Amino acid sequence: LACLEPSRYYLLCALTRHIHLLMDPQREHVVDVSEVCAGFARCLSLHAHVMEYLSRNWSICWKGCGVEGWFLNYNYTLDNARHLRFHNQE
C-alpha cells in the first residue's frame, strides 16, 4: 500500500477509514458493512475480502505513503520543464 501513487493512497485510505467508522457496533446500519465493501471493491477492481480487510484493520494497513517524496520531486521536475518550455516559446 505504501507504494501506491499518493493521490490513490490517500483516496483509498479515506474511503476505508470512512467504512471503518461505519463498523461501530453501537450503531445500527441499514446496509451491512460487508455489502458496502463489496460495492466499493467492484468499482476499484479489488476483491471484496481485500476491501473489507483494509477497512476492518484500518490502523494496521495505513502507515503512510512511502513514495510521496519521489512523486513530489517528479511533479516538481515536470512543472519546471513545462515552465521552461512555455517561457522559451515566448
Write the pLDDT tens digit of every residue in 8-27: 888 888 888 888 887 776 76
Q: Which domain holds residue 49?
A: 6-89
pTM above 0.85, yes or no: no
**Exposed e or buried b for every residue in 33-63, given b needs 16+ CB within 10 A?**
beebbbebbeeeebeeeebbbbbbebeebbe
pLDDT at position 29 is 65
Q: Between the CA of residue 66 and those of 2, 6, 28, 70, what are the distances in Å?
A: 5, 9, 36, 9
Instruction: Please indicate, yes or no, if residue 1 is contained in any of the structural domains.
Output: no
* Amino acid 8: pLDDT: 82
Distance of alpha carbon 12 from alpha carbon 16, whole angstroms: 6
| pLDDT tens digits along 19-77 | 888 777 676 766 677 777 788 888 878 888 888 888 888 778 888 777 888 888 888 88
What 8-state DSSP symbol labels residue 28? -
Give me the pLDDT at residue 30, please: 64
Is 62 within a domain? yes
Total domains, the chain:
1
